[in-house]
Structure 1
Amino acid sequence: MDEKVPLLPQTEDATMRRPTPKRFSRFHAAAFAFVVGLFWLARTWQCADPFHHHEDEAESKVPLEIHIMSKCPDARDCLEKLVVPAMANVSDKVDFRLSFIGKTTDEDDGVQCMHGQTECLGNILELCAASEYPDPKIYLGFTMCLSRQYQKIPKKELVEDCALEHGMDFDTLNDCMSREDGAYGMDMLRTSVQRSADLNATISCTVRLDNKKRCIRDGGKWKDCEGGSKPEDLIRDIDKLYKESKGWTE
């Protein structure tokens, strides 16, 4: 990818004031302010929900990450049979991340993809979808839509249809793909591929839950799926981890 490759092969505030007594000293003012402060502090304590302490919601979400290749049938099956159905039920409880598998090199702009250059473009396209539309329910649906016809990635007709289906703007995706003459997307892909390598996620699809390997889809079969490979199994595990992160007990 030595040269730019396009996405397609072608009122005024009126306040009622109470008269101030002539002998309203600084001491009185300070005392008044103190009492008012106590009053509002008490109100705040009364109105606060004892079960919500304004904690950072992101900190209590369960990390869920999948490592895939855009033109891989196992990635398609992993999304369709496990990840997307589970996310439909627990998306508000997870900190989701989509990562890609490849090889970083000093050639081909720094990344090689198992299924060729079109797969690299597909990976970048799906990273752009996640970047421009960060709600996992949106970009995961788009990614699954593409994967159903992964052989056609990144043909314009397929991308347009999937973008329309999931409320995305085709031009927005195309702009991301061609930003900085393609360097922006390639940097995202290289970072993503390096992350997968650092985490020893080398098989598409690898599912990691709570920063641990949870399940693998390889060669049309589920492997190393302790606890089960069905959506309800993953949902159960996420619910358990989420309750633990909140300090909730049964």
Structure 2
Amino acid sequence: MDTKAPLLPNTEARMPRRPISKRFSRFHAAAFTIILGLFWLARTWDCHHDHQHEGGDDGWATKVPLEVHIMSKCPDARDCLEMLVVPVMANISDKVDFRLSFIGETTDEDDGVQCMHGQTECLGDILELCAASEYPDPKLYLGFTMCMEQNYEQIPKRTLIEDCALEHGLEFDKLNDCMSKEDGAYGMGLLRDSVQRSADLNVSTSCTVRLNDEIRCLYDNGEFVDCSSGSKPKDLIRDIQKLYDEAKGWSE
């Protein structure tokens, strides 16, 4: 993939609030929502970023952790989701504790994030995190994310967001509220937490698939690599089913 170069070369000019910088801070988040026509209206409810990991008591303890780390404007992320992740989730989502995380680099001086493909990628990441926060069912937010990724060059055009939201049963206004909450700082916090998680797990390749808290497969430069147990959906489904059966046996 095109992430082999460091996200933040030491030679990169530090211009915190210039539009040409790849840094995306809470100030940029607010500015971009205005530019894109995502006019915000304050709401009284919160969109908690951990909703995607809340669950009922019915079999929750046996679900298998499956986490996918991507960048929203990365063609490898699109292909990885399309060829592996989405087909797997379509078949076995009820046995998976799914999480979508993002890759970038946090910046200390303005509590922001730098994204490999610029500020528009940061905004795309926030959109997809807001979808997961507002619609914690992976069938909804993963479908929306896949729709966005299939047209990643257009991220974050409003027409793309509206079309993908409509196609997958999401309300554009709810995504808008989440993104613009606290003048963009809330969505920025979601992204910063997600990027920090990927960094803490030493994940830097988009796309990285982690199963049961271990790296299961990478998709890099247009091909699957380091997939010792196979890179086809049936291979990952098999591994998930095995882990699920084992966990279920232990919990009984």
Deviations 1:109-145 (A, max 9, x none): 4200000000000000000000000000110010000
SS in 2 for 1:77: helix
Matches for 1:67-216 after TM superposition, within 5 Å: 67-107=69-109, 109-216=111-218
1:224 corresponds to: 226
SS in 1 for 2:33: coil
1:62 corresponds to: 64
Unaligned runs of 5+ in 2: 1-24, 38-55
Structure 2 counterpart of 1:103, which letter? Answer: E
1:223 and 1:107 map into 2 onto residues whose CA distance is: 36
Quickly say closer, same or farther: Cα 1:157–1:8, change in 2 above 3 A: farther
1:8 and 1:125 map into 2 onto residues whose CA distance is: 15
Verify the 8 A CA contact 1:70 1:119 in the aligned structure 2: yes
Tell me if 1:6 matches 2:22.
Answer: no
Stretches (4+) displaced over 4 A: none
Structure 2 counterpart of 1:195, which letter? Answer: R
Higher helix share: 1
2:109 and 2:143 map into 1 onto residues whose CA distance is: 32
Post-superposition offset of 1:56: 6.0
Structure 1 counterpart of 2:123, which letter? Answer: L
1:233 and 1:225 map into 2 onto residues whose CA distance is: 10
1:157 and 1:8 map into 2 onto residues whose CA distance is: 14
**Residue-pair matches, total:** 205
Post-superposition offset of 1:57: 2.1
Post-superposition offset of 1:8: 5.7
Structure 2 counterpart of 1:122, which letter? Answer: G
Post-superposition offset of 1:55: 6.6
Unaligned runs of 5+ in 1: 11-53
Quickly say closer, same or farther: Cα 1:174–1:229, change in 2 above 3 A: same
2:59 and 2:131 map into 1 onto residues whose CA distance is: 24
Identity of aligned residues (%): 72
Verify the 8 A CA contact 1:8 1:155 in the aligned structure 2: no
Structure 2 counterpart of 1:114, which letter? Answer: M
**Could you tell me the TM-score, scaled by structure 1's length?**
0.79
SS in 2 for 1:201: coil
Post-superposition offset of 1:67: 0.3
SS in 2 for 1:97: strand
Post-superposition offset of 1:9: 1.7
**Could you tell me the TM-score, scaled by structure 2's length?**
0.78
* Root mean square deviation, CA, Å: 1.6
Structure 2 counterpart of 1:168, which letter? Answer: L
